[in-house]
Amino acid sequence: MQKVEEVRRGYVLVAVLLLLLAVTGVGHTLLVMTRSEFFVSQARWDMLARRFAAETGRDLTARGMTRIDSLPWGEWVSMGSVAVPPRARYEARAVRLSREVLLIHSEGWLDTGPGRDRQVGLYWAMDPVARFAAARGVLESGGPARVEAGSMVDATLIHEAPAMWPAAFCDRFSSDVDTLFTSGISPRAELHEDPRAELGREGGAGAIEPRLPSLGLLGHDKLLEGADVQVSGTISPSPINRFGRCAVSSPTNWGAPLDISDPCMTYRPTVKSEGSLIVNGGQGQGVLLIVGDAIFQSAARYYGLVVVGGDLEITGESEIHGLVRVRGVVSLKGRSRIVGSACALLSALNAATQFRELAPIPESAWPDSH
């Protein structure tokens, strides 16, 4: 019996040792798996940290650029290397691909490890000369344009300074315009009607909600957000001066394009009307955004860019100098005129600095992205 008991104890001891060995093996396996998970998690965190640093460099570079026209074309420009706490860093650079398109390239890395993440972004910024070059006509209309006898759409003087404006004021735009119009050619047509417009041909805007035609990548909402002044109803704009200074706070002060000695000669606001608007005489300059229908009457004068979401009627010897974009029907009568003017347009768009901020171009619009 004693030998049997000893044998039984031996089996028990062997079983215990085997169990301990198995537990040790399982523990070692769990330790290896835990360490592997730790290293995988660390590698994943490092990858995300590098990507975050690269994206931060791209986005901060875009936000920090207020203008791109100072950058040379086709040359990479370093935008600096910046630390991203706790232990990452990015280095960004940019290249101007055209007058309005910028490519930003950013690399992110960790101070304590190898590997780099690269992020790129295409951005668009409105350029006045490029918008002038993209115009298909002095008047672009989504519906038919009716020009009665005695009225006209004129592009013959598009490169000349408007009457009463000093030639030297417009000469500063000449070199930029000449780079795109080397032979002095004006926009391709005085009048361009777009048959693809979403509005009905008869009756203009009709039941469809009026929306402003876009300006490059600046759509309806962005244009309205950038307005300095809001008006409605019937307006007779005129320059207002107080104590020898232009009173820019008045919503009826749209500058003084007809008097070069007036303090408001250099004031070119962006004015919006979210409904219909009647401009009853007076004078103004800058960018005029009218969501509904627009009427210019009683010898009204406007210099710059006029964008209308509904129909446009110009009558009573009124004149618009610059460029006009209308989504609906256009009617010119009563010896009224639309006169193409590069100088009036470019001076207005140059004053609208709020429209020159960088905006990301969706990847779906990138070349070879489909």
CA distance 183 to 174: 12
Query: What residue spans define the domains of the chain?
Result: 2-124, 128-355
| Residue 308 parent element (H or E) | strand 301-308
In angstroms, rounded to a whole number, what is the distance separating the alpha carbons of residues 350 and 97? 21
Q: What's the chain's length in residues?
A: 370
Residue 60 has pLDDT above 70, yes or no: yes
What confidence category does residue 28 fall into, taking pLDDT thresholds of 50, 70 and 90? low
Give the model's pLDDT for residue 185: 40
> Is the model's pLDDT at 7 over the cut of 60?
no
Minimum mean pLDDT among 193-197, 274-278, 304-308: which range?
193-197
- H helix intervals, 103-256: 128-134, 167-180, 220-225
Percent of the chain past pLDDT 90, that is, above it, reads 59
Structure tokens that stand for 265 in this block: 């000669």
pTM tops 0.85: no
pLDDT at 241: 94
Split at pLDDT 50, 70, 90, the class of 67 is confident
Reported confidence tier of residue 200, pLDDT bands at 50, 70, 90: very low
Confidence at residue 167, expressed as pLDDT on a 0 to 100 scale? 86
Do the strands 294-297 and 359-360 form a parallel or antiparallel pair, or are they unpaired? unpaired
CA atoms within 13 A on the CB side of 325: 22
Q: Which of 25-34, 48-57, 205-214 has the highest mean pLDDT?
A: 48-57
Beta bridge partners of 184: none
Helix (H/G/I), strand (E/B), else coil: 38: helix
pLDDT confidence of residue 238: 97
**Which is more confidently placed, 206 or 161?**
161
Take residue 47 and report the two structure tokens written for it. Answer: 């990858």
| pLDDT for position 365 | 72
pLDDT for the residue numbered 178:
64
Residue percentage of the chain with pLDDT more than 70: 80
Residue 363 pLDDT: 82
Task: Please determine, for residue 184, whether its predicted confidence score (pLDDT) is greater than 80.
Answer: no
pLDDT digit string (tens) for 99-142?
999 999 999 999 887 889 999 999 999 999 999 988 888 999 99
Cβ pair 152, 332 in contact under 8 A: yes
What is the per-residue pLDDT across 309-347, written as a single tens digit (0 to 9) for each?
A: 999 999 999 999 999 999 999 999 999 999 999 999 999
Q: State residue 8's pLDDT score.
A: 63
For the chain, what is the mean pLDDT?
Answer: 85
Residue 316 has a CB neighbour count (10 Å cut-off) of 17
Contact 352, 226 (CB under 8 A): yes
